[in-house]
Amino acid sequence: MDFTDISKNLPNGENMGGIAQKVYFGFWNDVQSWPVKPSTPADIEENGVLTGSVEMKAGKRMFEMYITDDTGEFNVESVGEVDGKSYVLHLNLFHPGMQKKILGFMNAAKNDNLFFIVTDAEGQMYLMGDEMRPAVYQGAPDGGGTGRETAARKGMSAEFTYKTGNVYVYEGTVPLTEATSA
Amino acid sequence: MWQKYFKVVKIVPGPVVIPGHGTVDFSRKDLPLELIKELYENDLPYLDITPQGKEVIYNIKPPVPTPEKKQPGVVSTPGEVPLKDKPDYGILQEKGKTFSKDTSPVKRKRRKSNKIPDNNE
């Protein structure tokens, strides 16, 4: 792989912050196959993208979750010592309300292995999870509950993290329906 | 209707988030054929083409089955017995010809004609 020039590249001048108001998720154990990381990329652009899609096992599917605007964040943290650098990807989100579905999700997710697909404001997606590591619940940095004042925001926040050697764009599909055997 | 020409595979027909196209709900019958064709040509793994789609959209005719040449000893119709398994009726066995099974108890006579005897005669 050779380096290439990296120019200012903002198609249509778009470069808005934040993430979309939907994140996609599923159980890590329900994944049949994962997209492939670049092994012998031709250039640096190819070195930043996964090939293929997350394929679910028969009878299993991915799901979507609504999050309040301006509460979601996808963050890339660099970690490790010299010659041992890697990344921890963070997803923070806030779901409004304390309905049974979100409480049930939190109950199930807090100690289970998950994966997430996060979409940024330009529609570019990032996958948190691979065949070796899932995304896991870390806590609720923005809290959760009813709030104190009547003007407070009631709901549940959550943070999920995923450790990875590299960061990639996900260009696969997200079927929100069950996989079949054929 | 696009479902005459393409079918959904690997998933139950329903919504799929596709980069560059948003969410496409494959359970809907009114999706534009051009969109489906584009997704199929872009190797979306959840679409396959039907024989009718091949013919109408890509003008690929289904292969016409060619009639098989009868080989000696090959059974082509029920009740027909290959020459090699045919009981010896005293008839000269000719290459490339098969005979129908004769269930008649009447002993057959040799005929002078080369015509293959019809058992129902």
Q: Which residue of A has its CA nearest to B22?
A: A123
Q: Pull the structure tokens for residue A166.
A: 């590299």
Interchain contact, A177 vs B44, CB within 8 Å = no
Q: In what order do the strands lie in the sheet with B15-18?
A: A174-175, B15-18, B22-25
The answer on B89 and B46 residing in a single domain is no
Q: Is residue B116 part of a domain?
A: no
pLDDT category at B85 given cuts 50, 70, 90 is low
The answer on B72 and B48 residing in a single domain is no
The answer, yes or no, to whether residue B121 has pLDDT greater than 50, is no
Between B90 and B35, residue with greater pLDDT: B35
Q: Pull the structure tokens for residue B80.
A: 């027909």
Say what the pLDDT of residue A112 is: 97
Mapping DSSP onto H, E and C, the string for A103-118 reads: HHHHHHHCCCCEEEEE
Dist CA A127 CA A131 (whole Å): 12
B68-82 confidence digits (pLDDT tens): 766 666 555 555 555
**Residue ranges of the domains in chain A?**
19-146+154-164
Q: Which residue of B has its CA nearest to A181?
A: B10
- Cα dihedral across residues A170, A182, B45, A179: positive or negative: negative
The answer on B19 and B48 residing in a single domain is yes
Q: Is residue B8 part of a domain?
A: yes
Interchain contact, A173 vs B46, CB within 8 Å = yes
Say what the pLDDT of residue B74 is: 57
The answer on B53 and B9 residing in a single domain is yes
User: What is the mean predicted confidence (pLDDT) over B109-118?
Assistant: 53
What number of CA atoms fall less than 13 Å from residue A43's CA on the CB side? Answer: 4
Say what the pLDDT of residue A50 is: 98
pLDDT category at B61 given cuts 50, 70, 90 is confident
Neighboring chain A residues of B26 at a CB cutoff of 8 Å: 177
- Cα dihedral across residues A12, A17, A23, A27: positive or negative: positive
Say what the pLDDT of residue B73 is: 60
A40 close contact with B: CB closer than 8 A: no
Dist CA B87 CA A21 (whole Å): 81
In total, how many domains does chain B have? 2
Q: How far is CA A76 from CA A114, A121, B74, in A?
A: 18, 16, 70
Contact of A23 with A67, CB cutoff 8 Å: yes
Dist CA A77 CA A56 (whole Å): 28
Mapping DSSP onto H, E and C, the string for B29-93 reads: CCCCHHHHHHHHHCCCCCEEECHHHHHHHHCCCCCCCCCCCCCCCCCCCCCEECHHHCCCCCCCC
Rounded to 5°, the CA angle A51-A56-A59 comes to 160
B17 close contact with A: CB closer than 8 A: yes
Q: Is residue B112 part of a domain?
A: no
The answer on B39 and B8 residing in a single domain is yes
Average model confidence (pLDDT) across chain B: 75
Q: How far apart are the first and last CA of chain A?
A: 37
The answer on B75 and B40 residing in a single domain is no
Q: Is residue B17 part of a domain?
A: yes
Residue B25: give the domain boundaries: 2-58
Q: Is residue B107 part of a domain?
A: no
Q: How many residues does chain B have?
A: 121
A65 close contact with B: CB closer than 8 A: no
The answer on B35 and B72 residing in a single domain is no
The answer on B50 and B6 residing in a single domain is yes
Q: Which of A45, A13, A119 is nearest to B18 (CA)?
A: A119
Q: Is residue B115 part of a domain?
A: no
pLDDT along chain A (182 residues), means of 10: 91 94 98 96 95 96 97 97 98 97 96 98 96 96 91 96 98 97 75
Q: Which of B10, B15, B19 sits opposite A176 (nearest CB)?
A: B15
A67-91 confidence digits (pLDDT tens): 999 999 999 999 999 999 999 999 9
The answer, yes or no, to whether residue B49 has pLDDT greater than 70, is yes
Mutate to test the interface with B, among A12, A32, A180, A181 (most CBs of B within 10 A): A180
Contact of A54 with A34, CB cutoff 8 Å: yes
Say what the pLDDT of residue B79 is: 56
DSSP A122-181: TS-EEEE--SS--BEEEE-TT-EES-SSTTSPPEEEEEEEEEESS--BB-S-EE-S-B--
For chain B, the maximum distance between any two Cα atoms, rounded to a whole number of angstroms, is 81
- A contact residues 154-173, partner B, Cβ 8 Å cutoff: 171-173
The answer, yes or no, to whether residue B113 has pLDDT greater than 80, is no
The answer on B48 and B27 residing in a single domain is yes
